[in-house]
Structure 1
């Protein structure tokens, strides 16, 4: 905890396996430890709900200079709920400069390179390899900038996107939210919750599948797009997040 002794902002998130809703020695020791570094607790409601238990095992703990608010979100894809933290600060959009290597731009580059006069490179003595290379690189760079200029784009966020934009999925999730609360009071609702949960999972799989297939279909480089999808699923699998199967026509 060396960072805690500095002015750095601190955010701790994860499953700490300590129920913050029940008095215990572990909970007391944990809170004393956090308080000694001026780190405060932000989640005060159940984050893992089962047919027999309701516990707050997942936490968001912060030491920040700005206002922060948290929400517990039940996506019904795990027995653990998600936690969302929002900071009261202006978040400016990030921009980056990238080259667009579309099929049209690649063809332009081939054409420009074929028409390029490379005589300046050959006129340099073979003994001066560095000058030859720098001259070649300069000519190549000029053609690259003509065919595939750097374009300023908004950097895409890698945060989890909302999975409930589809009306059907949104309706199913709303029903699950209600049934989850009812099933905690009356076990008669557990069967209906389980049935709706299966429909919800199936709808999420179909939505993910359609999304990935569209990414591949709209891409100029199909192979690269396919590997992007595969790596995305592999990364989700490593984090134990929901990762549906996808059918791709090669």
Structure 2
């Protein structure tokens, strides 16, 4: 079985293994553990935890289905002529003729950015003395968010699922492919040796033309990209079938219960990621006092005072140039690519707030929220332990942290 799974795992195809494995998964045993570990090492997870063979004296789970695809529904069929129950599963498939998919996006256009910039000039509030840094940041940030949500409204667009062939194939190649299909069909009844040679040559020439067209398309894609390393890896992942390593549709198995709800999945990830430090350090003899004593013992006391200098709006604009510009959106949908267009407008207010934070020794509450994305690593995609968290920090917190670092 391991040899067969090794061959299948080298492909980019999804795998479904089903049958009577003659090992009861409901009864803890060495064979049961070995079977599950074998399949899970290839990212295959058993679907059923209920009895699939019922006799007058036993109820065992011998028949099962192991797969690495997302299960949308499952059913055990009883009352068959055999004492083995039937198993029925429904999975998501990607077909060429599926209906166009609708997705919600927030278009960032030049006209929207211009409106956003013009409106912010009139809506950024005046910061009065006597208030805290946290109050001032909430005031400015909420005003920023209200205007952002008013301008950058989401729209629903239709995305057509197409072959990658359509990305690089010219109209001539499309016509040649249709001609080649016709020739292949004609081979069923045309046994002429001359015709077979013609089809063989036509097919060989078609492959050469496709190879050159695809090579030219990929070279242009990398050449015209702002990030050539990222574009190169994107091409490699697409061509090797690893482009779907980031799971957009996650399904978890918690205590033998399959979870599909987005809210439940988010709560389970939140619980798992927040408990990792506690579980990891539970059996360590650690405490704040022990850490402090260790520091006193091994680290000499510094005689240099640490002082922060006040910043100006110009400092904020200057430090922002050191931050990578990306379209990655934080918890509120803001990205560095959007903030760069309006930074000069709110930089004076941010400078006042950042200086107040330095004086008060505080970090604004709204800067402490980040968007956590679970990124799949390897193993079973049903286990939260096989995901690692990626935090997308608020844009303004990146600026503040960069200033403090400098």
Q: TM above 0.5, one fold?
A: no
Q: TM-score range by the shorter chain?
A: 0.3 to 0.5
Q: Which has more radius of gyration? A: 2
State the TM-score, normalizing by the size of structure 2.
Answer: 0.30
Q: Using structure 1 for the length normalisation, give the TM-score.
A: 0.44
- Using CA pairs below 8 Å that are at least 6 residues apart, which structure has the higher relative contact order? 2
